[in-house]
Structure 1
Amino acid sequence: MIRRRIRQLAWFIATVALVLFSVPVMALMDSVGENGIHAHQLHQPPLNLTGRKIAIGQIEIGRPAQFGLDKAGATNRSVRPNRLFFRDAPAEANSLVDSHAARVASILISRDKTLTGVAPEATLYASAVGAESRSEQPEECLAAQTVSLQNGGDVRAINYSFGESLMRDPRDNPVLDGNALLTQCVDWLARTNNVLQVIAGNQGRGGFPIPTDSFNGMIIANSMRVGGEFRKVDYFSLGSEPEVVIGRDPATESNVGPRRSVALLAPGSDIQTLTPNGTAAPADSGTSFATPHVVATVALLQEFGDRSIRQALESKQTPEVSHWGLDARRQEVMKAVLMNSADKLQDQGDGLNLGMTRTVLTQRNRTWLDSDAHQSTRLPLDAQMGTGHLNAFRAYEQFRPGQWRPDQETPAIGWDYRAVSAAPSANTSKYQDYVFADPLQGGSFIAATLTWNRLVELQDRNANGQYDIGETFRDRGLNNLDMYLMRAEDTDSRNRIWASDSQVDSVEHLFHQIPETGRYKIRVVYRDQINEPVQPYALAWWAMPNRG
Structure 2
Amino acid sequence: MARRLRWVMAGLATSLLGTPAIAYIASMTSMEAGGIDARRVQSEPYNLMGRKIAIGQVEIGRPALFGLDKTAANNFAVRVRQVFFRDGVARPNDTVDPHAASVASVMVSNDKLVQGVAPEAKLYAAAAGFERRGGQPQECLASQTVALQNGDDVRAINFSFGESLAQDPRPNARLDGNALLTQCIDWSANQHNVLYVIAGNQGEGGIPIPTDNFNGMIVSNSIAVNGVYRKVSFFDLGSEPPPIYGRAREPETNVGPRRSVSLMAPGTNIQTINPDGSLSNPATGTSFAAPHVTAMVALLQEYGDRQIREQQPNWSLDARRHEVMKAVMMNAADKIQDRGDGLMLGMTRTAVNKQNRDWLSSDAYTDEAKPLDADMGTGHLHAYRSLIQFGSGQFSPDAPVPPVGWDYRTVGTGRDAPAYRDYVLERPLVAGSHVAITLAWNRVVELKDTNRNGLYDIGETFEDKGLNNLDVYLMRAEDEREGDRIWSSVSAVDSVEHIFHPVPATGRYKIRVVYRDRVNTPTQAYALAWWTAPAE
- Shorter-chain TM range is over 0.9
Correspondence list, 1:274-293, <5 A: 274-293=273-292
Q: How far did 1:144 drift?
A: 0.1
Preserved CA contact (<8 Å) 1:206 1:246:
no
Preserved CA contact (<8 Å) 1:186 1:214:
yes
1:292 and 1:166 map into 2 onto residues whose CA distance is 24
1:537 corresponds to which of 521, 526, 530: 526
1:434 and 1:104 map into 2 onto residues whose CA distance is 40
Q: How far did 1:493 drift?
A: 1.1
2:319 corresponds to which of 328, 346, 351: 328
Preserved CA contact (<8 Å) 2:315 2:394:
yes
Preserved CA contact (<8 Å) 1:439 1:519:
yes
Q: How far did 1:112 drift?
A: 0.5
2:443 corresponds to which of 430, 439, 454: 454
1:223 and 1:132 map into 2 onto residues whose CA distance is 31
Query: Which residue matches 1:405?
Result: 396
Correspondence list, 1:385-534, <5 A: 385-423=376-414, 425=415, 427-534=416-523
Preserved CA contact (<8 Å) 1:62 1:130:
yes
Change (3 A) 1:119 1:394: same
Preserved CA contact (<8 Å) 1:27 1:115:
no
2:240 and 2:532 map into 1 onto residues whose CA distance is 30
Query: Which residue matches 1:362?
Result: 353
1:455 and 1:546 map into 2 onto residues whose CA distance is 41
Q: How far did 1:249 drift?
A: 2.0
Q: How far did 1:244 drift?
A: 3.5
Query: Which residue matches 2:12?
Result: none
2:129 and 2:239 map into 1 onto residues whose CA distance is 28
Query: Which residue matches 1:13?
Result: none
| Aligned partner of residue 107 in structure 1, secondary structure | helix
Preserved CA contact (<8 Å) 1:28 1:113:
no
Q: How far did 1:247 drift?
A: 5.0
2:27 and 2:185 map into 1 onto residues whose CA distance is 32
Query: Which residue matches 2:204?
Result: 205
Unaligned 5+ segments in structure 1 are: 1-24
Q: Residue type of the partner of 1:443?
A: G
| Aligned partner of residue 30 in structure 1, secondary structure | helix
Preserved CA contact (<8 Å) 2:61 2:97:
yes
Q: How far did 1:511 drift?
A: 0.1
Q: Residue type of the partner of 1:404?
A: F
Larger mean CA deviation between 355-364 and 243-252 belongs to 243-252
1:251 and 1:390 map into 2 onto residues whose CA distance is 28
1:471 and 1:41 map into 2 onto residues whose CA distance is 45
Say what the alpha-carbon RMSD is for the aligned residues.
1.3
Preserved CA contact (<8 Å) 1:85 1:127:
yes
Query: Which residue matches 1:233?
Result: 232
Q: Residue type of the partner of 1:465?
A: G
Identity of aligned residues (%): 62
Query: Which residue matches 1:71?
Result: 70
1:356 and 1:325 map into 2 onto residues whose CA distance is 28
1:207 and 1:477 map into 2 onto residues whose CA distance is 26
Query: Which residue matches 1:85?
Result: 84
Query: Which residue matches 1:260?
Result: 259
Q: How far did 1:417 drift?
A: 0.2
2:238 and 2:531 map into 1 onto residues whose CA distance is 26
Preserved CA contact (<8 Å) 1:149 1:155:
yes
Change (3 A) 1:27 1:206: closer
Q: Residue type of the partner of 2:221?
A: N
Q: Residue type of the partner of 2:200?
A: G
Q: Residue type of the partner of 1:447?
A: A
Q: How far did 1:492 drift?
A: 1.1
Q: Residue type of the partner of 1:374?
A: Y
1:239 and 1:279 map into 2 onto residues whose CA distance is 33
Q: How far did 1:401 drift?
A: 1.1
Preserved CA contact (<8 Å) 2:74 2:276:
yes
Preserved CA contact (<8 Å) 1:337 1:415:
yes
Q: Residue type of the partner of 1:382?
A: D
1:371 and 2:362 aligned: yes
1:48 and 2:23 aligned: no
1:348 corresponds to which of 335, 339, 342: 339
- May I ask how many residue pairs the two structures share in their alignment? 514
| Aligned partner of residue 62 in structure 1, secondary structure | coil
2:246 and 2:158 map into 1 onto residues whose CA distance is 27
CA deviation vs aligned residue, 1:67-126 (integer Å, no higher than 9, x gap): 111111111010000000000100111001000000000000000110000000000000
Change (3 A) 1:117 1:208: same
Q: How far did 1:473 drift?
A: 0.4
2:486 and 2:301 map into 1 onto residues whose CA distance is 34
Preserved CA contact (<8 Å) 1:26 1:114:
no
Query: So what's the TM-score if we normalise by structure 2?
Result: 0.94
1:29 and 1:206 map into 2 onto residues whose CA distance is 29
Q: Residue type of the partner of 1:309?
A: I
Q: Residue type of the partner of 1:151?
A: N
Preserved CA contact (<8 Å) 1:194 1:331:
yes
Change (3 A) 1:246 1:103: farther
1:143 and 2:142 aligned: yes
| Larger Rg, first or second structure (1 or 2) | 1
Query: Which residue matches 2:16?
Result: none
Q: Residue type of the partner of 1:460?
A: D
Q: How far did 1:135 drift?
A: 5.6
Q: How far did 1:53 drift?
A: 0.3
Q: Residue type of the partner of 1:385?
A: M
Q: How far did 1:204 drift?
A: 1.3
